[in-house]
Amino acid sequence: MSIIITIKLVGAFLAVLAVAIPILGLRERVPKGFSNGCRLRIFMVLVKMMLAVGWLLERVHMLSIIYVTNLILRIISRMEPEKRKGRAKDTQFGGVVVRVYTPNLSAENKDGLYPGMVFYHGGGWAIGNTWIYDDFVLPIVNAVDIVVVSVEYRLAPKFKYPIPLDDCLAATKYFMKNASKFNVDPNRIAICGDSAGGNLAAAVCLKLRDEKFKPMPKLQVLIYPVLQSVDFALPSMIQNADGPLLTTYWLTYYTSLYATGSLKYAQAMCENRHVEEATRKQLFDTYVNHDMLDMTYRSPPYRKPDMKGGDVEVWKNLKNVLLDPYFSPLLCNNLTGLPQTFIYAAKYDVLRDEAILYAKRLKLYGVDVSYVVDEHALHGMCSFRHFFPKDSYNALNRISKFLKENL
Ligand SMILES: *[C@@H]1O[C@H](CO)[C@@H](O)[C@H](O)[C@H]1NC(C)=O
Ligand SMILES: *[C@@H]1O[C@H](CO)[C@@H](O)[C@H](O)[C@H]1NC(C)=O
Ligand SMILES: *[C@@H]1O[C@H](CO)[C@@H](O)[C@H](O)[C@H]1NC(C)=O
């Protein structure tokens, strides 16, 4: 192909983009009070284009959409290595890859021991890596003066439940038992994760409690976590079904990959008919009781769901994993003895309501729990600090403040 034709093609492509981005961007929903709507629109168009490329490659059976997403994230995460130099080190804890961040050593540190935190990144248990979370973790390291271990757990669909959780648990125990080697006080360690990582954090705390691990983590910090997968018709899932950033469709897509290693049940979950009727009624009355949410969160287009029409066959295949409290921490029947908890939820997030319900259940069992539903926040925004600097810093500051005051 001649240079001229190539230039013309590239030019035509850029022209199409220049027209398409504003048009598509204007159709994106921007939540009230979000500080930078214009950036959100551009960001969403770029995400959708990336997904479209992934979808196309998947359709022609070349590469899966998960593979393409991970490839792009890996390329981005390898950019700008200079500024990370010296702050983070990749190593292994008993066979599990981890990234260890050390605080600014010139800062004041009286007794020589730092607090510590184990972090599990988000990405639907299937995408993301520790490197791409440098921008999330480093502000916390700097603000709190803390040693952070970010776990490179293996990902679904290749490694489905419980392998990602087992990796997190193994790395966490290794760090907690060997804390002094990292100048960390084993009595001052927090467990933290965002989104799917928040699910892993809650599950790790339940596991450590059930195994009577000593000392228990001092805090658990759950940032817009996934806490259950039996009900995809909570008010927040109806109100924010189309995002931004996380949609109910993608939530069920990732949940199916984590639970089964396949997309076999994603559609049944998305239509919320994956739980048989009797169980659904019983869960609605107990663990996922919509009536426990404030009226303000139950506004239209939400309506109380119809309990009929659950698929018995689908449920037979899913119930063991979906009812497992290490998969769905909200369904744990006894939350006694869990560490002090901070839950950060975003108002414009499909996962908002399960965060509120988990906070209420923890309180019922006497756990010292506090939570915020951030009025201007979106799911996942802390991971995109360059796009949404103001909003993501607000959230990270809140999280750092809690750690500073309580760890
Ligand atoms: C490290 O701490 C010192 C003293 O508090 C401060 O001046 C410096 O900017 C910090 N460096 C980083 C990278 O945060
Ligand atoms: C602590 O570290 C040692 C290696 O230094 C390792 O053999 C041991 O398994 C670790 N402890 C735990 C509980 O993982
Ligand atoms: C929950 O577990 C704790 C500790 O194992 C126990 O003391 C308590 O009775 C249990 N509560 C309920 C309601 O089962």
Statement to judge: residues 219 and 331 lie in one domain: yes
Q: What is the pLDDT of residue 366?
A: 98
* Domain identity same for 34 and 170: no
Q: Are 121 and 150 in contact (CB under 8 A)?
A: yes
Domain assignment of residue 76, yes or no = no
Contacts of 351 (CB under 8 A, 6+ apart): 195, 224, 225, 226, 227, 236, 246, 251, 345, 379
Q: How buried is residue 277: exposed, middle or buried, by Cβ count under 10 Å (0-12/13-18/19+)?
A: middle
Residue 105 CB less than 6 A away from ligand 1: no
Same domain, 42 and 186: no
Tell whether 91 and 23 lie within a shared domain: no
Q: Do 386 and 241 belong together in one domain?
A: yes
Alpha-carbon gap, residue 78 to 218, rounded angstroms: 33
Per the structure, the count of domains in the chain is 2
Measured in Å, residue 87 CA sits from the centre of ligand 1 at 12
Mean pLDDT per 10-residue section of the chain, whose length is 407 residues: 76 75 72 80 84 82 86 84 74 97 71 92 97 92 95 98 98 97 96 98 98 98 98 95 90 97 95 95 94 91 85 96 98 98 96 98 98 92 86 93 97
Catalytic residue list contains 379:
yes
**Ligand 3 test: best mutation among 209, 286, 336, most atoms within 8 Å of CB?**
336
State the closest ligand 2 atom to the C-alpha of 176, by its place in the atom list counted from 1.
13
Residue with CA closest to ligand 2 atom 14: 174
Residue 74 lies in a domain: no
CA of 9 to the centre of ligand 2 (A): 57
Is residue 81 assigned to a domain?
A: no
Could you tell me if 48 and 157 lie in one domain?
A: no
pTM for the model: 0.92
**Nearest CA residue ID for atom 4, ligand 1:** 107
CB of 146 within 8 A of CB of 133?
Answer: no
Q: Are residues 338 and 241 in the same domain?
A: yes
Q: Please give the backbone phi and psi of residue 326, each rounded to the nearest 5 degrees, phi first.
A: -80, -10
What CATH number has the domain bearing residue 179? 3.40.50.1820
- Rg of the chain's alpha carbons, rounded to an integer? 21
Active-site residue flag, 77: no
Are 91 and 149 within one domain? Answer: yes
Answer whether 230's CB lies under 8 Å from 255's CB.
no
Q: What's residue 20's pLDDT?
A: 73
Separation of CA 175 and ligand 2 centre (Å): 8
259 and 173 fall within a common domain:
yes
- Residue 83 is predicted with a pLDDT of 65
CA of 84 to the centre of ligand 1 (A): 14
Ligand 1 atom 5: residue of nearest CA: 107
Shared-domain flag, residues 8 and 41 = yes
Examine residue 135 and state whether it is found in any structural domain, yes or no: yes
| Ligand with smallest separation from the Cα of 107 | 1
Q: Supply the pLDDT for residue 309.
A: 82
Is 80 contained in some domain?
no
Ligand 3 centroid, distance to 337 Cα (angstroms): 9
User: Which atom of ligand 2 lies closest to the CA of 93?
Assistant: 14
Note down the domain range covering 25: 2-63
**Domain co-membership, 124 together with 189:** yes
Pair 49, 128 in one domain = no
68 located within any domain: no
